[in-house]
Structures are given as structure tokens and as C-alpha cells.
Amino acid sequence: MDTSDAYANAKYIENAASYPPKWEAQAAAFREELSKAGRAEIGVRYGDHPRAQLDLFRPEREAKGLFVFVHGGYWRAFDRSTWSHFASGALAEGWAVAMPGYPLAPEVTISEITANIKVAIEKAATLIDGPIVLAGHSAGGHLVARMLCDDGVSEEVAKRITNVVPISPLSDLRPLMHADLNDDLHLTEAEAASESPILRNKAHPAPVTVWVGAEERPAFLDQARWLSEAWPDTVCEIEEGKHHFDVIDGLLDARHPLLRAILG
């Protein structure tokens, strides 16, 4: 069965094309403001690939800890620079925020992207002391969930992780083998299984909150529910009135339940 439509988000969101330009403009203004204040480190390298860089934003005072946000785009689109402003809520609460970029499909496989995010988080962990919280959106939700598997982040870093929040994550990659997305992803049965968090043991004890919008495609509601059912210490929160593109808006507001779930 062709699953392409089930995983098509933009065609079911009003004015979907307006979101990326809006995000990019807001992110650029945010980076400029933080750079002028001396609170932004842009393009910190964690690997050899040109996209293996992260941006680090620091709060006004000593950081309470580190929040790592991993962007989505079906592992084949976007860049860390599109999302910078979504650090604002956590910064207001006194947390440093790291936003890693990563190589994209079809140049690399999802397994290689997972390996890049592992290194990125471990690099960011050397820059900021204290607890670590992880969140990611869509494909980024998949990637932060993968960090809790036995081949995820190092034991040293895992011990510092206090919360993980996959937002609208992909938790079972096998349906994507039958979508037009796979023209770029090149998923095989073996990789789809090994990269699916629901088919992997949760190897680290950090609590997980899966966050998803009530107005998302049914496939994404299923993906969120599957992860919450597959892993212990995992709950699923469904935010009313939100679709796949605005479900991350809670990151902008220090008082929003989404950010509270991340920061604790």
C-alpha cells in the first residue's frame, strides 16, 4: 500500500507554504540579536561534513543546563538556521540551547544521521554543565528517541539526561518504505527496523513525553501513540488545535506545557 498521502503534512495545512519563510526570518533576527549580545556561538563543528555543525545559544546568566533541539524535515530538508528562535522560551528560563544541523538524505542514510546526532549531543554536552534535556520535531523526534537506545549517546551523557520529548515523532519507519519519501531515504527492511525506536529497547531511564497535535495526520497520531505504548516511563500528550507545523510553537513560551515537559 502506498503511504505517501498518509505522511504528507503540507497539503493538509492551511497556508503551509508560509511557514518556512516565516521561520527563517524569525530565526535570522533571533541569531542577530543573540550574536550582538555575545550569547550565540554559530557553527560549532562536531564533525567533518559541512553540515556537521551546531549553534549554541547561552542565557544571560550561568546556564541551568543544556537543551538540545533537533529539527525535522523527513531527514532530507531544512537546516539548523531555520529554527533558532525556538530557543527563546528555554533561554528565558535560564537554559542554554544547542541546535545541531546534520547531513541529509539522499547523501546519507538515516543510520548515518542518527550517528551524527549522537556526536553532536556529546559535543554540546562538553560545552555546558548540568542536566541535559532533549527534544526534536518530526524526524528530529525520531532522532532524540534513538539517543535512548543502546547505541545512542554515551553512558556518561545519558546519566545527565533528565527529560526527552519527541514532538510528532516518527517511531516506526517501516511504513515510510512504501511512501514516495523513500526515493530519497532509501530505507531497506533492515534499516527501517533497526532505526525504529518502537522496535528497540529503551536503554536509559530518562522519562519520555511524546507530544503531538490533535489536528495532525492520523499517521502521526499513530506514530506518537506507538512509541508511548512501546516504551516504559513514556506518556503521550495530545495538544488540542495544533497541526504538524504549529505544534512546536510552545517552545517559544516559557510557561507553555510543552516547554514545561521538556525542562521539568
DSSP 194-233: HT-GGGS---S---EEEEEETTS-HHHHHHHHHHHHHSTT
Exposed, middle or buried by CB within 10 Å (0-12, 13-18, 19+), for 140? buried
- pLDDT, residue 18, reads 98
Angle between helices 139-146 and 110-127 (to 10 degrees): 70
Amino acid (1-letter code) at residue 154? S
pTM exceeds 0.85 for this model = yes
- pLDDT, residue 39, reads 98
Q: Encode pLDDT of 194-226 as tens digits.
A: 999 999 999 999 999 999 999 999 999 999 999
Can you name the CATH fold of 5-263? Rossmann fold (3.40.50)
Give me the residues of the chain with pLDDT under 70, please. Answer: none
DSSP letter at 150 equals: T
DSSP letter at 61 equals: S
Place of cell 564533525: 47
Q: Sketch the domain layout of the chain as residue ranges.
A: 5-263
- pLDDT, residue 65, reads 98
Q: Encode pLDDT of 79-88 as tens digits.
A: 999 999 999 9
Q: Is the Cα dihedral 169, 175, 176, 180 positive or negative?
A: negative
Q: How far is it, in rounded angstroms, from Cα 167 to Cα 140?
A: 8
Q: How far is it, in rounded angstroms, from Cα 34 to Cα 87?
A: 11
- pLDDT, residue 183, reads 98
- pLDDT, residue 63, reads 98
Distance of CA 102 to the CA centre of its chain: 12
- pLDDT, residue 153, reads 98
